[in-house]
């Protein structure tokens, strides 16, 4: 309660009476503090309520109608929140995949700097290739060389695409949005299917564009030389629709290749720079191999394998098809152009037919997608729990309150083991222990968390304070799963864990680290062995805003509502209710990258609350925020002075 | 025109959190004592990976806070400046009478801050004493505040750190390093409903504390009988051998090296696959970089 300064004469009597009657009033203790400078500033900062009622925004315009009265919105959200996780199983997977699909399209729409090159570059290169072909700039139209250049150029046009596709996936992973998605309950299968569908929707556009441009160029008048081959002409190439099928299938092939290789990168920039080179290297790999074979063994080597030079060349083409998606596309295009037919005439071997390109593209796409799925899912597989108990001596050394909590949690553990039920803790951490091996050989392990036992009932807001190096971050990392896999990412995250501080984020919040011992129950579901169910009750706000920069507030909420499995019929109610509750109304259509730091944090909280999780993890929610709004704007909520915290 | 730029202040975010987190259980990690005090119903203070204090903010303040803060603002007095040290000393002495054990914390030109031990402090008596002496001492204003959470935090951290340093120093003096050695005997604490089986498992856990299995987290560590380090070595050395073969073939026209080259390439790829695709990278492993 607030004691008015004017009544200071009566403070003495009041506190004396309070001291005398503490027992009667069942008061165990009381505190007294002065008003902070912040509250003084809030009090003199202006009448925000008036401004809020007037509802002026940045540009002075009135906010949209969705900023409905709070009372009504809270009523609505309570109603909708009771329906969290209404869908599970196949239907939930479908809804989640649809959400990921829409997310990809919306981010592309909102970020033309990335989506336009993705859609525009390959058709532009194809157009140049077609024009070179029909004008006979390389060789006469229909010639093998001319078609070879055309095929290679179209395949090269697809090279930057790998960067753009992988960048999105790697960024998702490095910025921890992927982890937040996992915690929100997104199935691995739904994630990859949705992402693939989104990328395919974009790549189908460019495949159709390349085909249409090809058809258009084919009907242009071409200079016909004496040696012009009718079979190899562009008109022949685009006729029959083989080209379109090949391009569509190659798109799936390339996209899935990007997903798989994206696991090797811990940085989006490195992925953008490296992946095209990797693709070129993969094309060159069989060429180098064959080259080595020839250089080392020469013609006798070929004789040894009963292969003619032509046969070895065709086998090299097969190798290229298998090794590289771009190589497969190029060879497929050559097959359509008739180059392979040309080879067949010159040798007896079986040249790679057109259908082989399609089969390789389809089978490798399935293989790469499966790898991506398995790599992702591997991190969520159940891990055996090891129990850890303190010795009596160690318990005696604990602080009294901490020891009491330890015993309570131990009782709860015993109850779970004996009766199969738990005491009703929403979150229970029992004997959590995490060691880090020393960097140098023989160095003793660093114990980041020493048998942490904590039971948090529903309705409690538990604050974990820690000095730098206390291991607070590490504890949170052990709670949630990770999809970061390879050493590069992990080693950087490990540094974060070993050097916790303000700048080290809880990027690695999602089960990057497995506890050495201990069990964590979220609403009775173990994080180690039953994470899928535990995640349904878990929401998390990381220290850094884990948002898609090119997605608006409302789209974020829709995406996460779909990930939570909310059916379409209830989705809009839930989203609108959340927007109103979190006071995001005037910003609903603003992209996340254009939001202020505080609004981003609010959006993160809103995203975590979609689906009504019972347990929420907040990692430094107000990190980087000013205590009050910067001048000349008046303070946000002097109302807080009326409502004691 | 009055323009509102709605950047969300920290306080605004806290309000949102308080409104939305009421029915949930929330774990909040923070370095801001203000935030912890504003939001949390219960607080745990971790030092060196161990929980060292637990309870409501008020409980922690009462348990670990050892002193109150009394701030006194002096008004202008005849013939004396507000920052006159003699006057400050006189007032300090007077306050010392009212609050035994009080010490002057700071004197900022008429704004005196005193630290009063918790044991000798009664809030009611303090207000009474200050009101009585207000006129005599020329006090225009005064304030009384309980220990802040920050003080509690600093005290807990400092105590634990100094204890750890003392034990380390004692251990080094003893020459054995026994102080760092974890206790290797012990049983589960009494008073719990746990069974004997639990006690046994506790004992076995304690017994295996220092062996290698302690770092085991259940992650797959070997493939084809080789761990990550071995696979990485295979990949590296086979790759180097490949390179040597390549140089031999191309540079010295040694065609017969082609087949060893193929074999080495195979094992190199196998090693790479094992390292990168099969075995999960374990963040505990110091050799991951």
Lowest-pLDDT range of B6-10, B16-20, B28-32, B37-41? B6-10
Dump pLDDT digits (tens) for A440-456: 555 666 677 777 788 88
- Does residue A401 sit at the B interface (CB-CB below 8 Å)? yes
Given CATH 3.80.10.10, say whether it is the number of domain A72-82+544-620.
no
Q: Considering CB atoms only, which of B2, B28, B144 is closest to A463?
A: B28
Dihedral sign, Cα of residue B19, residue B20, residue B25, residue B31: negative
Is A602 in contact with B8 (Cβ distance < 8 A)?
A: yes
Identify whether B228 is part of a domain: yes
CB-nearest to B192 from A12, A411, A502 is A411
Interface subset of A 458-487, CB within 8 angstroms of B = 458-467, 469-476, 485-487
Residues forming CATH 3.40.50.300 domain(s) in chain A? 72-82+544-620
Q: Is residue B133 part of a domain?
A: yes
Neighbour-count burial for A79-100, b at 16+ CB within 10 Å, e otherwise = ebbebbebbeeeebbbbbbbbb
pLDDT, position A101: 92
**Facing B52 at nearest CB: one of A31, A56, A402:** A402
3-state secondary structure of A265: coil
Interface test with B, best of A463, A483, A578, A620 (most B CBs within 10 A): A463
Asked if residue B232 and residue B246 are part of one domain, the reply reads yes
Is pLDDT of A197 > 90?
yes
Number of other residues whose CB lies within 10 A of the CB of residue A458: 15
| A636 within 8 A of A628, measured Cβ to Cβ | yes
- The last residue of a domain, from among B126, B150, B174: B150
Cβ contacts of B249 within 8 Å, gap of 6 or more: A292, A295, A296, B255, B257, B258, B261
Radius of gyration of chain B (CA): 33
The reply to whether residue A636 touches residue B12, judged by beta carbons under 8 angstroms, is yes
Q: Return d(Cα A20, Cα A66) in angstroms, integer.
A: 53
DSSP bridge partners of A520? A429
| A 136-175 → B contacts, CB under 8 A | none
A622 Cβ under 8 Å from any chain B Cβ: yes
DSSP states of B216-239 as a string? Answer: --S---EETTEEHHHHHHHHHHHH
Of B125, B186, B250, nearest to A295 by CB-CB distance is B250
Q: Do B192 and A601 touch (CB under 8 A)?
A: no
Q: How many domains does chain B have?
A: 3
Min Cα separation A251/chain B (Å): 24
Task: Give the residue from B19, B44, B63 where a domain finishes.
Answer: B63
pLDDT interval class at A89 (50, 70, 90):
low
CB contacts of A439 in chain B (<8 Å) are: 286
Which carries the bigger pLDDT value, residue A510 or residue A196?
A196
**Which residues in chain B have their CB less than 8 angstroms from residue A58's CB?**
3, 5-6
* B198 and A389 Cβ atoms separated by less than 8 Å: yes
Residue B47's closest chain A neighbor by CA? A470
Taking CA atoms, what residue in A is nearest to B44? Answer: A464
Asked whether residue B247 is domain-assigned, the answer is yes
**What local confidence, expressed as pLDDT, does residue A446 receive?**
67
Q: Inter-chain contact A636–B27, Cβ cutoff 8 Å?
A: no
For residue B202, the chain A residues in CB contact (below 8 A) are 387, 389, 391
Residues of B within 8 A of A403 (CB-CB) are 189
Are residues B127 and A473, on separate chains, in Cβ contact within 8 Å? no
**Section A547-557 average pLDDT:** 89
CB atoms A438 and B286 under 8 Å: yes
Say which range, A30-34, A352-356, B63-67, B102-106, has the weakest mean pLDDT. A30-34
Q: What is the DSSP string of A35-48?
A: PPHHHHHHHHS--H
A89 close contact with B: CB closer than 8 A: no
Structural domain span for residue B82: 65-150
Q: Which residues of A are less than 8 Å from B280 in CB distance?
A: 378-379, 485
- A262-279 pLDDT tens trace: 888 878 888 888 888 889
Full-model pTM: 0.69
Last residue of a domain, one of B19, B36, B63: B63
Q: How far apart are CA A301 and CA A310, in angstroms?
A: 14
Q: 277-296 in A: which are within 8 Å (CB) of B?
A: 292-293, 295-296
CA separation for the pair B286, B107 (Å, rounded)? 53
Q: CB A13 to CB B124 under 8 A?
A: yes
B75 and B118 part of one domain:
yes
Which of B29, B206, B255 faces A620 most closely, judged by CB atoms? B29
CA distance linking residue A531 with residue A476, whole number of Å: 15
What is the distance between the terminal CA atoms of chain B, rounded to a whole angstrom? 58
Chain A residues within an 8 Å CB radius of B36: 463, 465
For residues B53 and B115, membership in a common domain is answered with no
End-to-end CA distance of chain A: 10
Alpha carbon A185 to its chain's center? 12
Is B49 a domain residue? yes
pLDDT per residue as tens digits for the range B126-185: 777 777 777 777 777 777 777 777 777 777 777 777 777 777 777 666 544 433 333 322
Nearest C-alpha neighbor of A531 from the set A482, A481, A485, A566: A481
- ∠ CA B227-B233-B237, nearest 5°, is 150
- Contact: B25, A614; criterion CB under 8 Å: yes
User: Is the sign of the CA dihedral A320, A322, A326, A331 positive or negative?
Assistant: positive
B126 domain-assigned: yes
Question: In 3D, which of A452, A434, A432 has the Cα closest to residue A527?
Answer: A432
How close, in Å, is residue A151 to chain B by CA atoms? 31
Q: Specify the range with the lowest mean pLDDT, choosing from A449-463, A563-577, B275-289.
A: B275-289
By the 10 Å C-beta count (0-12 exposed, 13-18 middle, 19+ buried), B256 is classed as exposed
Give CA separation, B222 vs B211, B265, B280, in Å.
19, 21, 10
The partner residues of B117 in beta bridges, in order of sequence, read B67
Contact between A253 and A325 under an 8 Å Cβ cutoff? The reply is yes
The string of DSSP codes covering A377-421 is: HHTTS----------HHHHHTS-HHHHHHHHHHHHHHHHHHHHS-
- Taking only the tens place, the pLDDT of each residue in B191-208 is 333 333 333 333 333 333
Q: What is the ipTM of this complex?
A: 0.70
Residue partners of A615: CB distance under 8 A and separation at least 6: A426, A427, A456, A522, A523, A537, A538, A539, B24, B25, B26, B27
A vs B: CB pairs below 8 A: 429
Whether B208 maps to a domain, the answer reads: no
Q: Residue A576 and residue A557: Cα distance in Å, rounded?
A: 9
User: Residues with Cβ < 8 Å from B167, sequence gap 6 or more?
Assistant: B179
SS3 A437: coil
Catalogue the E-assigned strands of A437-564.
446-457, 461-466, 517-522, 525-526, 538-541
pLDDT at B239: 92
Pairing relation of β-strands B111-117 and B103-107? antiparallel
Sign of CA dihedral A538, A541, A546, A548: positive
Q: Which of B44, B50, B283 has the CB atom closest to A454's CB atom? A: B44
Q: Which of B28, B118, B142, B262 best tests the A interface by mutation, with the highest count of A CBs <10 A?
A: B28
Counting residues of chain A whose pLDDT is more than 90, the rounded percentage is 5
Considering only residues 29 to 48 of chain A, which have any Cβ-Cβ distance to chain B shorter than 8 Å? 29-34, 36, 38, 42, 48
Q: Which residue of B has its CA nearest to A456?
A: B25
- Reported as a single tens digit per residue, the pLDDT across B74-126 is 776 555 555 666 777 777 777 777 777 777 777 776 777 777 776 666 677 77
ω into A609 cis (within 30 of 0): no
Which residues share a beta bridge with A581?
Answer: none
Q: 3-class SS at A307? A: coil
* A interface test, pick of B19, B44, B158, B188 with most A CB neighbours within 10 Å: B44
Please state, rounded to an integer, the average pLDDT across all residues of chain A: 72
Burial class of A6 by CB neighbour count within 10 A (0 to 12, 13 to 18, 19+): exposed
Query: Nearest-CA distance from B230 to chain A in Å?
Result: 16
- From the CA of A491, how many Å to the nearest CA of chain B? 6
Taking the C-alpha atoms of residue A129 and residue A150, their distance in angstroms, rounded to an integer, is 5
List of residues 6+ apart from A47 with CB closer than 8 A: A634, A638
Among A40-54, A255-269, A315-329, the range scoring the smallest mean pLDDT is A40-54
- Same structural domain, B123 and B79: yes
Task: Please check whether residue B181 lies inside any domain of the structure.
Answer: no
Position B281 confidence tier, pLDDT thresholds 50, 70, 90? low
Nearest to A470 among B47, B186, B286 (CB): B47
Is the minimum CB–CB distance between A533 and chain B shorter than 8 Å? Answer: no
Q: Residues of B with CB below 8 A from A381's CB? A: none
pLDDT level of residue A252 (50, 70, 90 thresholds): very high
Which stretch of DSSP H or E encloses residue B117? strand B111-117
Per CB-CB distance under 8 Å, the chain B contacts of A14 are 124
Instruction: Based on the fold, state whether residues B73 and B116 are members of the same structural domain.
Output: yes
What's residue A221's pLDDT? Answer: 63
B60's CB contacts (< 8 A; 6+ apart) are B43, B45, B53, B149, B152
Nearest to B68, CA basis, from B112, B113, B28, B31:
B113
Interchain CB distance below 8 Å, A622 and B32: yes
The candidate with the shortest Cα–Cα distance to A500, out of A621, A624, A620, is A620
SS (H, E, C) A114-177: HHHHHHHHHHHHHHHHHHHHHHCCCCCCCCHHHHHHHHHHHHHHCHHHHHHHHHHHHHHHHCCH
Distance between B105 CA and the closest CA of chain A, angstroms:
17
Which chain A residues are within 8 Å of B135, Cβ to Cβ?
Answer: none
Closest partner CB to A458 (pick from B24, B124, B261):
B24
Whether residue B59 is found in the same domain as residue B70: no
A154 has pLDDT over 70 = yes
Q: CB under 8 Å to B173, separation ≥6 — which residues?
A: none
Cα–Cα distance measured from residue B111 to residue A258, given in angstroms and rounded to the nearest whole number: 67
CB contact under 8 A, B10 and A628: yes
Q: Which of B25, B50, B188 sits opposite A460 (nearest CB)?
A: B25
Contact B261, B246 (CB under 8 A): yes
Contacts of A434 in chain B (CB under 8 A): 49
Q: Beta partners for A517?
A: A433
Name every chain B residue with its beta carbon within 8 A of the beta carbon of A622.
10, 13-14, 30, 32, 35
């Amino acid at each position: 309660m607030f004691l008015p300064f004017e009544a200071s004469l009566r403070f003495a009597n009041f506190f004396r009476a309070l001291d005398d009657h503490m027992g009667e009033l069942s008061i165990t203790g009381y505190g007294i503090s002065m008003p902070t400078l912040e509250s003084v500033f809030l009090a003199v900062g202006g009448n925000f309520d008036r401004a809020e009622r007037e509802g002026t925004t940045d540009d002075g315009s009135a906010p949209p109608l969705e900023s409905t009265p709070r009372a009504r919105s809270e009523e609505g959200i309570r109603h909708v929140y009771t329906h969290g996780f209404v869908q599970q199983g196949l239907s939930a997977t479908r809804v989640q995949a649809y959400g990921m699909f829409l997310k990809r399209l919306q981010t592309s729409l909102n970020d033309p700097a990335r989506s336009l090159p993705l859609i525009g570059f390959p058709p532009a290169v194809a157009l140049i290739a077609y024009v070179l072909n029909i004008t006979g700039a390389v060789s006469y139209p229909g010639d093998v060389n001319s078609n070879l250049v055309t095929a290679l150029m179209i395949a090269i046009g697809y090279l930057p695409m790998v960067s753009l596709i992988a960048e999105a996936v790697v960024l998702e992973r490095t910025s921890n949005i992927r982890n937040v998605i996992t915690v929100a309950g997104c199935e691995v299968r739904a994630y990859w299917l949705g992402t693939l569908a989104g990328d395919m929707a974009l790549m189908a556009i460019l495949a159709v564009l390349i085909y249409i441009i090809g058809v258009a160029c084919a009907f242009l008048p071409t200079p016909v030389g004496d040696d012009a081959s009718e079979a190899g002409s562009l008109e022949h190439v685009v006729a029959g629709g083989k080209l379109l099928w090949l391009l569509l299938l190659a798109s799936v092939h390339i996209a899935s290749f990007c997903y798989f290789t994206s696991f090797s990168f811990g940085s989006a920039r490195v992925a953008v720079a490296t992946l095209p080179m990797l693709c070129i290297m993969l094309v060159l790999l069989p060429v180098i191999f064959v080259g080595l074979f020839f250089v080392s063994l020469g013609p006798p080597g070929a004789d040894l394998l009963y292969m003619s030079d032509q046969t070895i060349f065709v086998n090299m083409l097969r190798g290229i098809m298998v090794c590289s998606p771009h190589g497969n596309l190029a060879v497929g295009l050559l097959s359509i152009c008739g180059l392979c037919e040309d080879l067949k005439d010159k040798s007896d071997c079986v040249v790679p037919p057109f259908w082989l390109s399609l089969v390789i593209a389809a089978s490798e796409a399935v293989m790469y997608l499966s790898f991506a799925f398995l790599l992702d899912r591997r991190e969520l597989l159940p891990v055996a729990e090891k129990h850890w108990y303190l010795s009596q001596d160690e318990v005696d050394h604990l602080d009294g309150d901490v020891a009491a909590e330890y015993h309570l949690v131990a009782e709860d553990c015993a109850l779970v083991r004996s009766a199969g039920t738990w005491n009703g803790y929403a979150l229970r951490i029992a004997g959590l222990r995490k060691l880090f091996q020393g960097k140098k050989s023989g160095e003793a392990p660093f114990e980041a968390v020493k048998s942490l036992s904590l039971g948090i009932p529903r309705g409690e807001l538990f604050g974990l304070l820690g000095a730098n190096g206390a291991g607070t971050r590490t504890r949170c990392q052990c709670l949630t799963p990770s999809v970061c896999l390879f050493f590069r990412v992990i080693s950087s995250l490990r540094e974060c864990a070993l050097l916790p501080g303000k700048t080290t984020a809880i990027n690695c919040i999602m089960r990057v680290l497995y506890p050495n011992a201990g069990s964590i129950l979220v609403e009775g579901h173990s994080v180690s062995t039953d994470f899928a169910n535990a995640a349904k009750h878990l929401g998390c706000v990381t220290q850094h805003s884990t948002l898609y920069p090119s997605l608006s507030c409302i789209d974020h909420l829709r995406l996460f509502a779909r990930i939570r499995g909310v059916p379409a019929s209830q989705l809009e109610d839930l989203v609108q209710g959340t927007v109103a509750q979190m006071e995001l109304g005037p910003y609903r259509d603003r992209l996340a990258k254009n939001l202020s730091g505080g609004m981003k944090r609010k959006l993160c909280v809103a995203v975590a609350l979609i689906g009504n999780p019972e347990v929420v993890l907040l990692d430094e929610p107000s990190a980087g925020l000013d205590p009050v709004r910067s001048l000349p704007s008046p303070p946000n909520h002097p109302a807080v002075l009326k409502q004691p915290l | 025109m009055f323009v509102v730029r709605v950047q969300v202040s920290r306080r605004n975010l806290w309000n949102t959190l308080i409104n939305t987190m009421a029915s949930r259980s929330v774990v909040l990690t923070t370095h801001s004592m203000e935030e912890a005090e504003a939001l949390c119903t219960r607080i745990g203070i971790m030092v060196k990976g161990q929980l060292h204090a637990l309870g409501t903010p008020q409980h922690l303040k009462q348990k670990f806070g050892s002193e109150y803060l009394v701030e006194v603002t002096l008004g202008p007095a005849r013939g004396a400046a507000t920052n006159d040290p003699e006057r400050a000393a006189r007032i300090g002495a007077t306050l010392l009478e009212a609050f035994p054990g009080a010490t002057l914390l700071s004197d900022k030109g008429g704004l005196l801050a005193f630290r009063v031990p918790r044991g000798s402090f009664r809030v009611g008596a303090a207000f009474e004493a200050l009101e009585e002496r207000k006129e005599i001492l020329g006090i225009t204003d005064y304030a009384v505040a309980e220990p802040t959470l920050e003080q509690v935090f600093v005290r807990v951290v400092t105590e634990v750190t100094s204890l750890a340093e003392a034990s380390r120093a004692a251990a080094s003096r003893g020459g054995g390093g026994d102080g760092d050695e974890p206790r290797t005997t012990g049983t589960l604490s009494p008073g719990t409903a746990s069974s004997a089986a639990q006690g046994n498992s506790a004992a076995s856990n304690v017994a295996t504390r220092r062996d290698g299995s302690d770092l085991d987290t259940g992650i797959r560590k070997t493939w084809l009988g080789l761990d990550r380090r071995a696979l990485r070595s295979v990949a590296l050395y086979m790759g180097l051998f490949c390179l040597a073969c390549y140089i031999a073939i191309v540079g010295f026209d040694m065609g017969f090296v082609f087949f060893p080259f193929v074999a080495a390439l195979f094992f190199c790829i196998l090693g790479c696959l094992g390292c990168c695709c099969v075995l999960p990278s374990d963040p505990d492993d110091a050799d991951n970089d």
